[in-house]
Chain A
Amino acid sequence: AQSVAQPEDQVNVAEGNPLTVKCTYSVSGNPYLFWYVQYPNRGLQFLLKYITGDNLVKGSYGFEAEFNKSQTSFHLKKPSALVSDSALYFCAVRDGRAAGNKLTFGGGTRVLVKP
């Protein structure tokens, strides 16, 4: 079984301040971790992923995330938030050693960046 928790329904941050969106996961085997962003009336857009290698991964639009195996976390970060970063963010996991390929998503975190 695999699961994802995003403990914050909403994160509010002022433009120019650092942004962090939290994600913890549970998976039996090797975690493959993903972050997606969803803008209103649009599909999910891929931001970044961790499969193996360096724990700090960099993705689109200046976002990065750090894989922490001991804390089973994969928090999304951006050093300086923009108003245009306001959207719904989803963390997802799959078991890299499982035969299936389904992603399990968290419930999402709404980010509101205020000017």
Chain B
Amino acid sequence: GAGVSQTPSNKVTEKGKYVELRCDPISGHTALYWYRQSLGQGPEFLIYFQGTGAADDSGLPNDRFFAVRPEGSVSTLKIQRTERGDSAVYLCASSLMSLAGGGEQFFGPGTRLTVL
């Protein structure tokens, strides 16, 4: 079956611009996660959705970052006034159940964001 998809695969933008990154989770997965992976590091948690609501947004670095999941399926990560330090690979994952039940997360291929 289809896995987690993310678009675009690459995004180059200029400092100060606004970007949107899209994630399409595996059908039927209620939990959706965003992570950020900088070069040479492991993924870092940003935000977790259970259904339509953000259950944990403790990883968002500042108020320039925002994410939505209005219908409980597709999610969009929005970054305002981008900075060069935002350059990273943004990973999306989904799971059939929350990790409270021990379900593993399935990751998409990521969006590589480059801020010039």
Q: Residues of A at under 8 Å CB distance from B?
A: 4, 32, 34, 36, 41-46, 49, 51-52, 90, 92, 94, 96, 99-108
Q: With A and B bound together, what is the CA distance between A102 and B99 in angstroms?
A: 8
- From A46, A101, A108, B31 is in contact (CB under 8 Å) with A101
Q: Which of B43, B44, B55, B98 has the most CB of A within 10 A?
A: B43
In the complex, which residue of chain A has the Cβ closest to the Cβ of B4? A43
Give residues in B with beta carbon < 8 Å to A. 3-4, 31, 33, 35, 40-45, 48, 50, 55-56, 58-59, 91, 93, 98-100, 102, 104-110
Tell me the smallest distance from the CB of B32 to a CB of chain A, in Å.
10
Nearest-neighbour CB distance to chain B for A8, whole angstroms, equals 14
The 9 closest A-B pairs by CB, nearest first: A105-B42, A102-B45, A51-B102, A43-B107, A44-B107, A101-B99, A100-B56, A43-B109, A46-B104
Given A32-B99, A36-B107, A44-B107, A100-B48 contact (CB < 8 Å): yes
Nearest Cβ on chain A to B20's Cβ, whole angstroms:
20
Give complex CA distance A42, B4 in Å: 12
Measured between beta carbons, the chain B residues less than 8 angstroms from A51 are 102
Output the least CB separation between A86 and chain B (Å).
17
Establish whether residues A46 and B56, one from each chain, have CB atoms under 8 Å apart when the complex forms: no
Report whether B99 and A108 are in contact in the complex, using a CB–CB cutoff of 8 Å. Answer: no
Task: Select from chain B the residue with minimum beta-carbon distance to A110.
Answer: B40
Nearest B residue to A91 by beta-carbon distance?
Answer: B42
Question: For A100, what are the chain B residues with a Cβ–Cβ distance below 8 Å?
Answer: 48, 55-56, 58
| CB-defined contacts of B98 to chain A, threshold 8 Å | 101
Shortest CB–CB separation between residue B59 and chain A, in angstroms? 6
Does the CB pair A45–B58 fall under 8 Å? no
Interface contact A102-B33, CB-CB below 8 Å? yes
Q: For A108, what are the chain B residues with a Cβ–Cβ distance below 8 Å? A: 40-42
Complex-state Cα separation, A51 to B99, whole angstroms: 10
Smallest CB separation, B27 vs chain A (Å): 17
Residue of B nearest to A50 (CB): B102
Which residues of chain A are near B31, meaning CB under 8 Å? 101
Most buried by B among A45, A46, A103: A103
